[in-house]
Amino acid sequence: MCRRVPSAHGSRVEGYPVGEGRCLQARRPSGFRQSAVFSPAMSSNPNQQPYPDVDPRPSYPAIEREILARWKEEKTFEQSVANRPAGKNGSNEYVFYDGPPFANGLPHYGHFLTSYAKDAVPRYQTMRGRRVERRFGWDCHGLPAEMASEKELGISGRQAIQDHGIGAFNEHCRSSVLKYAGEWESYIDRMARWVDFEDDYKTMDLSYMESVIWAFKQLWDKGLLYEKHRVMPYSWAAETPLSNFETRLDNSYRPRQDPAVTVTLTLVPQDGDQGVPHKILIWTTTPWTLPSNLAVAVGPDIDYAVLEQDGVRYVLGAATVGKLQKQLAGAEEVGTVKGRDLVGRSYEPLFPYFADQENAFRVLGADFVDTEEGTGIVHMAPGFGEDDQLICEANGIEVVVPVDDSGRFTEEVTDWVGINVLEANKPIIKHLKEAGALVKHETYEHNYPHCWRTDQPLIYKALGSWYVRVTDFRDRMVELNQEIRWIPEHVRDGQFGKWLEGARDWSISRNRFWGTPIPIWKSDDPAYPRMDCYGSLDELERDFGVRPKDLHRPYIDELVRPNPDDPTGKSMMRRVPEVLDCWFESGSMPYAQVHYPFENKSWFESHFPGDFIVEYVAQTRGWFYTLMVLGTALFDRAPFRNCICHGILLEPSGERKLGKRYGNYSSPDEVFETRGADALRWYMMSSPIMRGGNLRFDSGDTGLGDVTRLVINPIWNAFYFFTLYANIDGTRARFRTDSEQLLDRYILAKTRELVETVGAKMDAYDLAGTCQEITSFIDALNNWYIRRSRDRFWGAEATQEKQDAYDTLYTVLVTLCKVAAPMLPFITDAVFTGLVGEGSVHLEDWPDAENLPANHALVADMDRVRDVCSVTLALREEHGLRTRLPLASLTVAGRDSARLESLAHLMRDEVNVKAVELTEDLEAHATFVLAPDRRLLGPKLGKAMKAVLDATRSGDWTLHDDGTVTAGGQVLDAGEFELRLESKEGETSSALPGNDAVVVLDVVVTPELAAEGWARDLVRKIQQARKEADFAVTDRIELAVDVPEGCVAAVKTHEAYIKEQVLAETLTYGSPSDGMFTVETTLGEGALTLGLRSTAG
């Protein structure tokens, strides 16, 4: 290869601060020496260089801050939206739904991950020409907001909130729920997520809430709502039910001692009892629920023992008899009975309070019953146990709940009215003992949930709740789900699909304060029942005479009117106390954010479903699900078309997810200000987390640094390389795709393929795949195209060939910036504007592949050449032949190897050989190896396959003239095998990947070749010394060399070459003179001394 850089430029570029500026540049805050990023193109002024000076080692965070400022100043985001027409009736809009976060905490890396995806896809679609409005959403209601407010106000529990005043409490929620909105905004901004905060939506807005009650009313009108009692964890101390979330908080479950009692129930006699009284044994750790007992359950397949003692027969699980040895001492086993044979029998109520209850006091069958604990016969109090409730309900037994909000017995339980249920355990046990029903009383220690606020044990208690009849349209959801594209695909029929199949009715009411109120008004006198549901402010105004300015409690509760169905005029219509589950609100986002149907009616109807949403995979149970339920119930549509489910971020050990309460991550500011937001974006977008996997994240780890080193730096370096030489030459490049130069044609064709593949990946929402394509392109660009094209940029004359190189590199870089813009919005915009001089890459159209030449054959041939070079370098390595040592020839033997003719000079240069021979004469250089097609032959041959494979390995096979092969006693037809090449023994050769060609290297080193090798080694050493001496690339030098004896002749032979290469004006032999920059090193096995002096002055 011919290195003419210094000489080429030395003669005519004086005055350009090529090398000298470096230390200065490094101290600059951004990538440009001047604020070129803001300046328009300078090409109009011939006295100035065409491109900004680029810092080879820039601070990316500083570049990002500059770009941010420019976007703000030029309103680039707003322009990018406004430039794209909405089209007729919004037909050109791409609809993105933003899943609203809570803003009562700071955002963390998990939010950034989602936000990056929420930004990348809309950026891409915008470049594709679509108009993508991006409204930010805030989730404002719900328990987290209430809990935070209770804490801040120093109050706890429902009663305390009511004492404080619901109005004041809700005001506090309203003001604190967006406490961190400002921080959110600045982080989102810093990470280059483009989203509209001005025109945001909040679930607590009046318009939003009106749409939510509209949706509620729709369900009501469709008969999809009902009210029912359901058992929930309940804190009697705080007078509130708790969500599952709350019962899972740390320290919620802890050991507690409770009484465990075994009690008898007397069966109503029936035929077959032989006149002997029969009693069944039940066991419970909550004696206070016994007054509410309405049934017992047995396992149909469980064996029950019948024991007789003192003329009474006791029935209990056969496996549990041992537990009551003492109590049943002397009892005689008189038989066993299957649970199913007990089902249907009745027994005497233990307490009289609910003796009239229909269908009650019977033995029921239930699969969940076992004999691990208790007697194998389970006491059922449907008001206080979920299983109890389900089984009883299925058997027509209504729930009774004789316990009030504060956990005390109501008047129904006359004996203990007003007593806290837990305190009532003792007197109840005493009563049972006196009644002769108590068989055993022990103390039982178990893990039991406690209220995290009051520290008191929870109870389970049925509470009224409103439900959406999801089971009615579950099958339709399953159908509609098939229309959605899920990333990763398996979510559709896996996590989400299965969840839909098993969907249960959805409890949508909460006994809370801060939320959209359930818009139902009920008569307060059961004698005159009536219920009204309201779905708009208009409807409320019509009936109540006032138009609410705020739908929140307590104002909404003030709307009361006489019951129209009550002729006495005494009963009133009052709102039910509950508010809606906040998931109902976020699931209403598609229509509520635009105040449908009160406004934007036709827009919504033509823009539903949305095109794209992305959240973490657990939202299959959250937002994705509630969107689906409401979309199906209200519109009979799947609510979104494409959905990315990303995984979760784990701490470096992989043990826990990143979480605020673990404190296991560092400040995002640190990452933004050291690595930059683009590095973080690429790191996250390129990872398997975008395909549903998890990602161990360590902000201090090499992963982020690798992105800078392997993705961002190479792009920047290509840009730096281009501007460096274009400025030296004063050349302004233009967008051109018609260069005839080989390497140009190659990289242009490669760029076309990049545009096509990245477009396809982005269209498939494969963000990680997009990153892969870009990475491999960057490799081809930097490590092949630019490296192999360098000398064209170095040439002294302004040739067409050189202009082609500039134009092509410019064209490729501009295109690369566009293609990578969604994934690296900052760096691509800095490079793009540096090249083009104005505008923003984000205002550009997606490149049209048709504008770039297609030439797949050339791309493939070039890849072939790179393979040849790899294999050849491996051969050199194997034979200890350093690359600087020229060799006589390289032979590529293979079918169609002549195709590489036009690329031979690249191979020659790359692997340093004098000649490249291309031949089809395989036999001369290679032997054949049989490779049977296992997929084809396996099923056909079966067991005989083994013999064929053995023969293949041993080489014991024969090729026939008709193209068939015999191996292992089997005849293989053409097409059932391949013949692959292997290099011949004794030759310095190696097969190419794919095994259809071999490379043979001539390893004979003649004295001439050796001498040239020494000369090149010496040049290399001198260049190294120049660098160490900190000479400018263009500096001329005086040179003294003291070379080992054996090399002197070689150096003298190539003296002219050496002097030219290292810009030496003079070359003397012997020790360096005083004042020269001196280097002691080696050349070959001998000592080498170099002396250099710059003549630049």
Partner RNA sequence: GGGCGUAUAGCUCAGUUGGCUAGAGCGCCGCCCUGAUAAGGCGGAGGUCCCAGGUUCAAGUCCUGGUACGCCCA
Per-residue x/- marks for RNA, 439-478, CB under 7 A?
Answer: ----------------------------------------
Rounded CA-CA distance 482/250 in Å is 39
Residue 1027 sits in the site that holds RNA (CB under 7 A):
yes
Q: Is the peptide bond before 277 cis (omega within 30 degrees of 0)?
A: no
Question: What angle separates helix 787-794 from helix 800-820, to the nearest 10 degrees?
Answer: 130
Among 311, 939, 969, 975, binds RNA (CB under 7 A): 939
| Of 53, 139, 200, 1035, catalytic | 139
Nearer to RNA, 168 or 931 (CB): 931
Is 660 labeled as catalytic in the residue annotation? yes
| Nearest distance, CB of residue 327 and RNA, angstroms | 29
| Nearest distance, CB of residue 262 and RNA, angstroms | 23
For 96-121, give the DSSP string. Answer: BPPPPPB-SS---HHHHHHHHHHHHH
Q: Which of residues 39-78 bind RNA (CB under 7 A)?
A: 56-58
In 3D space, the residue among 360, 357, 377 whose CA is nearest the CA of residue 368 turns out to be 377
Residue 661 sits in the site that holds RNA (CB under 7 A):
no
Nearer to RNA, 123 or 1026 (CB): 1026
Nearer to RNA, 481 or 708 (CB): 708
Residue 882 sits in the site that holds RNA (CB under 7 A):
yes
Candidates 595-603, 613-621, 920-928, 1050-1058: pick the segment binding RNA (CB under 7 A). 613-621
| Nearest distance, CB of residue 357 and RNA, angstroms | 24
Alpha helices, DSSP H, located in 337-437: 339-342, 386-394, 421-434
CB-based burial, 993-1007: b 16+ in 10 Å, e otherwise: eebbbbbbbbeeeee
| Nearest distance, CB of residue 800 and RNA, angstroms | 22
Nearer to RNA, 531 or 874 (CB): 874
* Residue 989 CB neighbour total at 10 angstroms: 23
Candidates 182-190, 299-307, 708-716, 729-737: pick the segment binding RNA (CB under 7 A). 708-716
Residue 782 sits in the site that holds RNA (CB under 7 A):
yes
In 3D space, the residue among 523, 573, 567, 515 whose CA is nearest the CA of residue 544 turns out to be 573
Nearer to RNA, 687 or 897 (CB): 687
Nearer to RNA, 618 or 1049 (CB): 618
The type of residue at 215 is A
Residue 694 sits in the site that holds RNA (CB under 7 A):
yes
Residue 1032 sits in the site that holds RNA (CB under 7 A):
yes
Identify the DSSP state of 321.
G
Question: What angle separates helix 206-221 from helix 623-635, to the nearest 10 degrees?
Answer: 60
Rounded CA-CA distance 689/653 in Å is 16
What are the residues facing 917 on neighbouring strands? Answer: 891
Residue 786 sits in the site that holds RNA (CB under 7 A):
yes
Q: Is 217 helix (H, G, I), strand (E, B) or coil?
A: helix
Is 139 labeled as catalytic in the residue annotation? yes
* CA distances for 176 relative to 103, 157, 169, 381, 583, angstroms: 9, 18, 11, 42, 20
Among 2, 69, 82, 874, binds RNA (CB under 7 A): 874
Q: Which residues contact 263 (CB under 8 A, 6 or more apart)?
A: 281, 282, 283, 284, 290, 350, 379, 432, 437, 438, 439
The type of residue at 567 is P
Rounded CA-CA distance 591/600 in Å is 9
| Nearest distance, CB of residue 556 and RNA, angstroms | 29
Residue 870 sits in the site that holds RNA (CB under 7 A):
yes
Residue 179 sits in the site that holds RNA (CB under 7 A):
no
Q: Which of residues 884-923 bind RNA (CB under 7 A)?
A: 884-885
Rounded CA-CA distance 229/596 in Å is 32
For 483-548, give the DSSP string. Answer: TSEEESTHHHHTHHHHHHHT---EE-EES-SSSPBP-EEEES-TTS--EEE--SHHHHHHHHSS--
Is 72 labeled as catalytic in the residue annotation? no
* Tokens 């004979």 belong to residue: 1004
Alpha helices, DSSP H, located in 943-1047: 945-954, 1007-1028
Residue 943 sits in the site that holds RNA (CB under 7 A):
yes
Among 718, 771, 998, 1088, binds RNA (CB under 7 A): 718
Among 855, 1023, 1053, 1078, binds RNA (CB under 7 A): 1023
| Of 452, 583, 682, 1014, catalytic | 583
Residue 655 sits in the site that holds RNA (CB under 7 A):
yes
In 3D space, the residue among 36, 10, 164, 3 whose CA is nearest the CA of residue 834 turns out to be 36
* Tokens 């949930």 belong to residue: 449
In 3D space, the residue among 823, 623, 470, 821 whose CA is nearest the CA of residue 97 turns out to be 623
Candidates 257-265, 522-530, 539-547, 1024-1032: pick the segment binding RNA (CB under 7 A). 1024-1032
CB-based burial, 547-557: b 16+ in 10 Å, e otherwise: ebeebbbbbbe
Q: Which of residues 409-428 bind RNA (CB under 7 A)?
A: none
Candidates 42-50, 425-433, 488-496, 895-903: pick the segment binding RNA (CB under 7 A). 488-496
Per-residue x/- marks for RNA, 206-245, CB under 7 A?
Answer: --------------------------------------x-
- Cβ-contact 520, 576 below 8 angstroms: yes
Among 12, 709, 895, 960, binds RNA (CB under 7 A): 709
Is 623 labeled as catalytic in the residue annotation? yes
Is 619 labeled as catalytic in the residue annotation? yes
Q: Is 652 exposed, middle or buried (0-12, 13-18, 19+ CB in 10 A)?
A: middle
Q: Which of residues 493-552 bind RNA (CB under 7 A)?
A: 494-495, 498
Q: Give the distance, in angstroms, between the CA of residue 263 and the centroid of all CA atoms in the same chain.
A: 55
Is 822 labeled as catalytic in the residue annotation? no
Candidates 116-124, 190-198, 626-634, 1025-1033: pick the segment binding RNA (CB under 7 A). 1025-1033
Candidates 111-119, 140-148, 871-879, 1051-1059: pick the segment binding RNA (CB under 7 A). 871-879
Among 209, 733, 869, 951, binds RNA (CB under 7 A): 869
Q: Residue count at the site for RNA (CB under 7 A)?
A: 78
| Of 100, 668, 822, 932, catalytic | 100
Rounded CA-CA distance 8/796 in Å is 5
| Of 357, 593, 619, 1061, catalytic | 619
* CA distances for 270 relative to 227, 263, 265, 276, 339, angstroms: 39, 21, 15, 10, 16
| Nearest distance, CB of residue 798 and RNA, angstroms | 18
Candidates 524-532, 714-722, 746-754, 840-848: pick the segment binding RNA (CB under 7 A). 714-722
What are the residues facing 1092 on neighbouring strands? Answer: 1039, 1077
| Nearest distance, CB of residue 938 and RNA, angstroms | 2
Among 341, 386, 987, 1055, binds RNA (CB under 7 A): 386
Residue 663 sits in the site that holds RNA (CB under 7 A):
no
| Nearest distance, CB of residue 653 and RNA, angstroms | 9
Candidates 169-177, 196-204, 261-269, 875-883: pick the segment binding RNA (CB under 7 A). 875-883
Residue 574 sits in the site that holds RNA (CB under 7 A):
no
Residue 934 sits in the site that holds RNA (CB under 7 A):
yes
Nearer to RNA, 66 or 611 (CB): 66
Secondary structure of 569-632 in HEC code, one letter for each residue: CCCEEEECCCEECHHHHHHCHHHHCCCCCCCCHHHHHHCCCEEEEEEEHHHHCCHHHHHHHHHH
Residue 720 sits in the site that holds RNA (CB under 7 A):
yes
Distance from the first to the final alpha carbon of the chain: 31
Residue 935 sits in the site that holds RNA (CB under 7 A):
yes
| Of 660, 940, 946, 1027, catalytic | 660
Candidates 447-455, 511-519, 662-670, 683-691: pick the segment binding RNA (CB under 7 A). 683-691
Residue 19 sits in the site that holds RNA (CB under 7 A):
yes
* CA distances for 94 relative to 131, 465, 766, 969, angstroms: 6, 38, 18, 64
Tell me which residues are annotated as active site.
100, 139, 583, 619, 623, 657, 660
